[in-house]
Structure 1
């Protein structure tokens, strides 16, 4: 099986699947599921690749959830190996865009679930799904989760975690602020009319502002990212300066976010736009995942990890967001686990260690041979 897992991962990496262009990869995943003997394997109306291995007993079972899409490759000249090569180097590292995010974990779920049926059907149904548009906020999961919810007792989000059990992550919101002034010749230097000064005062306040906190998720973060001024002339001050904030939330509602921003912009010529919950696009707002570290599912997954893989990292949190927000919001107990170093995701040095890929495959196979502890 080991060679087959590596070969399948290489073929996945050699098939580009940027967001909104996942159809070829979805067909490849479904074909592999059928070859492996899944009881059902199909592409749904959203373009998600979905497979089912039926269990011995009726009732809700496992969902192993990954995605199909990846981010752009960046500057190909900066890659040690071509981003769609699927190259395995002498150190046993499998290179390519999506190696850890998400094609390594995807391959591990597909083969892990198939391996689980070798001694006979698992106790409960096992759903294996790879969805579209995760990198754009979760369009595929928004369609899939409501459909599968009655059949799912526990969701495992298969994103890279260095083989660590993950019990949550913060939500993500993108917020727009506009600072207004009165354009004038830069030689006049009217600071009261220049919105850059209001922006500077806002950033000073933001740097020392207290952040909301959560018992499980810790503190939120509010990070300035994209900045735009409505002038391209170096000798003309802008009339408007627009700032985008990346806000990693720990349960703040849109109204609470507006209250925080109102305080931070007090006395400044500034307006802000906070998107409603579940908004996608340039501005977005989706919640996080917060499963109690003592939840039976977390304990079960950690016990399986220790039994199958031995000593390792203690359960923790992801820094990034996942489609687990959809399963968690639907009331499905949600925990994460996956092979691959998450710090390599979205970089130009993305690879997955073959040993981790195979370890993740063994883990998923062992996990779904148990009934979900929920």
Structure 2
């Protein structure tokens, strides 16, 4: 028997932000980033809709990229002072992930981050508040998942916090909110969504529902990502990418991910490579590594009119090139001496990453180090 975990209510389509008018409650705190939703008017629209719903609201702004433990704890203190019954994550993945964890420590102030980071250990939420996720980037699918990624700045490590308690109560998937994304963010987040769809499809958890959404999301991304990078105001393509991101999120919250994410988490935590970019660097070589033990990539290749896993990996490399995303860690500017000094450390951490356990081929630390090295050099693996 399997159980599907889903966001209770999902509204999608251009203009669906207006659904905020219909929620019932007294107080809402909106968690957002450092300025984009303020500049483009999305925050004001959200606050206006909450006012129409008769809900008093306040804003916690300033969540950084790769949100830190410190930011999460600071937000939890503001939650305690305001006492909301709705928490609204508005923005990119960083904002929504930070809001999820602020919510955890608002409901359980005695909990430590170390305790919360143990997979599936977060106690039952919703005693004080419920959660709305409103993404403004089309990448992580966090609005559909029981996952939040938080960075420990002192250790240089990203922690994926895993608990189905974190799955939002409401997700609003409005492609109109994404039209002001810069090209680089559109490209990186789109490749992140693609990685989610592919890794969910090939994971060692077999789920027909997740597979259908993973494959469908992948097809939408291949059909729309290059166009939306070049034509950012194409709202049909924007909504297709936003839907694909949510579909990937649904898929991987039920089937989970693999070592592309294990590697990418380390590249982001140690070198601050944007998450989607890191995924795009490592994904083709991960496909080559895993294809020795699974034919699932061949099925995805067939959906694209291709024949082999290698052709599928090359299709991803071509898309990556066409939308202007780098193909190696060295191209990001990480010098060789720094890389060599940290290689064993990041390979050790990648092996311990929760995503590694769901990969179709179980790697050794040495194999992960080889993968890392090939991705640093921009070379194809020979494992």
Report the TM range for the smaller structure's normalisation. under 0.3
- Structure exhibiting the larger radius of gyration computed from Cα positions: 1
* Bigger relative CO (Cα 8 Å, ≥ 6 apart): 1
* TM-score between both structures, scaled by the size of structure 2: 0.25
Q: Which structure's residues are more often strand, by fraction?
A: 1
Q: Which structure's residues are more often helix, by fraction?
A: 2
